[in-house]
């Protein structure tokens, strides 16, 4: 079920990201229009990460944890949360700009920030108040008594969320990390948020501390172990996107994906022949295989799948480079695609920057 949803949803995200990136390119710099489009792209990229996390969870496989700076991720989430706050609740933030690096999955960081801030919001929805969000580097020598589990001494990043809401008594604090336990009204929560955070932090080697009193609000402190430091600056969009002028055969049975893919590739300078039928694409390729320098094809298509299409094209022209794309597929993975002779295996949705670099990598190799 997760795979089926992921396939369709990733196709939709391909359309949103594709047209969104082109709209941003056309928007006058520094305008509200451009900022709105950037917010759309941020949301779409977050959705992309969450779909991947759902798939990883459904497979019970290891998530891809990489060295990241947590501060930009927190700031991005807070920026999105601010716009949804009711007028009775304000948010203050004190996010450090340190260079500490943790080993994490960005989608899990977003999930932690979102869950803690949403809980704080629910604690104050009747009375209003202030959510205070902060992060700072700390050195832990002795684990606080309020911590859920022990961690080793060392450098950590502390992320905290404080609310001025109703607070909790000891009887409730002892249960809040139990799966499905919730004090929210029916329909306002599943009781899984803090349980998921608990599991993520245990895997990270971090911890979470809770301080609360009835009528006095609550504070959640999350500690992520630091794995190193870096002087890297916040990542900016690569403005030097590689381009070219080669002939590309682009195949996808979804009309909007075919259209957005064609326009995106043409803007990068390529000459594009687009086909929505794998049978028609094979016929076109057979008629003039020398015309095409590269084939980009979807995997899940009626009549002839992308992998079967690739096999037949490689038989006709063994040196034809092929990029095989999929929103989700149980029938083929990257290793199997490479065995067929496919040069690159790409998971949708693919941003313009990603596909541009992938094309040049395949063609230049």
- In this prediction, residue 189 carries a pLDDT of 47
Closest by CA position to 295, among listed 268, 269, 275, 267 = 275
DSSP 8-state code for residue 322: E
- Beta-carbon-side half-sphere exposure of residue 46 (alpha carbons within 13 Å): 16
- In this prediction, residue 235 carries a pLDDT of 41
Cα–Cα distance, 207 to 147 (Å, whole number): 6
The dihedral sign for the CA sequence 101, 106, 110, 116? negative
Strands (E), the chain: 66-68, 89-95, 100-104, 129-140, 154-163, 207-213, 217-229, 247-251, 271-275, 294-298, 322-326, 344-347
Q: How far is CA 46 from CA 77, 106, 134, 148, 311, in A?
A: 10, 9, 22, 29, 34
- In this prediction, residue 143 carries a pLDDT of 61
- Residue 209 structure tokens: 């501390």
DSSP of 278-299, one letter per residue? HHHHHHHHHH-GGG-SEEEEES
Q: What are phi and psi of 155, to 5 degrees?
A: -85, 135
Cα–Cα distance, 317 to 287 (Å, whole number): 12
Per-residue confidence in pLDDT tens, the chain, 365 aa: 666 677 788 888 999 999 999 999 899 988 988 888 988 888 888 788 777 766 665 554 455 678 888 888 888 888 878 877 888 999 999 998 777 899 988 878 888 998 899 889 888 988 889 999 999 998 887 665 555 555 677 899 999 999 999 888 877 777 777 765 565 554 444 445 687 888 888 888 888 888 988 888 999 999 999 988 765 444 444 457 899 999 999 999 999 999 999 999 999 999 999 999 999 999 999 999 999 999 999 999 999 999 999 999 999 999 999 999 988 766 788 889 999 999 999 988 888 989 999 999 999 98
Name, in order, each residue with C-beta under 8 angstroms of 254's C-beta and a sequence gap of 6 or more.
11, 15, 276, 298
Entry pTM: 0.59
DSSP of 306-317, one letter per residue? HHHHHHHHHHH-
Hey, what domains does the chain have and what are their CATH numbers? 70-229 (3.30.565.10), 247-364 (3.40.50.2300)
């Amino acid at each position: 079920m997760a795979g089926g949803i992921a396939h369709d949803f990733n196709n939709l995200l391909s359309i949103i990201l594709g047209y969104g990136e082109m709209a941003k390119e056309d928007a006058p710099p520094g305008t509200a229009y451009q900022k709105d489009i950037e917010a759309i792209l941020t949301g779409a990229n977050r959705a992309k990460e969450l779909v991947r996390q759902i798939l990883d969870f459904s497979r019970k496989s290891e998530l891809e944890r990489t060295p990241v700076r947590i501060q930009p991720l927190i700031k991005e989430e807070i920026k999105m949360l601010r716009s949804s706050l009711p007028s009775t609740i304000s948010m203050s933030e004190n996010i450090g700009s340190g260079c500490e690096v943790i080993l994490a999955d960005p989608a899990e960081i977003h999930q932690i920030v979102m869950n803690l801030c949403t809980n704080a919001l629910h604690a104050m929805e009747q009375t209003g108040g202030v959510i205070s969000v902060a992060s700072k580097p700390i050195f832990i020598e002795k684990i606080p008594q309020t911590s859920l589990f022990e961690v080793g001494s060392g450098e950590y990043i502390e992320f905290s969320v404080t609310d001025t809401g109703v607070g909790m008594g000891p009887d409730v604090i002892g249960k809040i990390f139990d799966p499905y336990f919730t004090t929210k009204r029916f329909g306002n929560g599943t009781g899984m948020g803090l349980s998921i955070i608990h599991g993520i932090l245990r895997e990270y080697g971090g911890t979470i501390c809770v301080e609360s009193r009835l009528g006095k609000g609550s504070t959640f402190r999350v500690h992520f172990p630091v794995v190193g430091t870096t002087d890297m600056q916040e990542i900016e969009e690569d403005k030097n996107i590689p381009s070219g002028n080669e002939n590309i055969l682009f195949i996808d049975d979804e009309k909007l994906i075919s259209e957005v893919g064609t326009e995106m590739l043409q803007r990068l300078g390529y000459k594009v022949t687009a086909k929505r039928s794998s049978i028609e694409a094979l016929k076109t390729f057979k008629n003039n295989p020398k015309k095409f320098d590269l084939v980009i094809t979807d995997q899940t298509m009626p009549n002839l799948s992308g992998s079967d299409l690739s096999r037949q094209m490689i038989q006709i022209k063994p040196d034809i480079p092929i990029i095989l794309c999929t929103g989700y597929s149980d029938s083929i993975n990257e290793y199997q695609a490479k065995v067929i002779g496919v040069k690159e295996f790409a998971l949708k949705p693919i941003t313009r920057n990603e596909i541009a670099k992938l094309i040049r990598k395949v063609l230049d190799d």
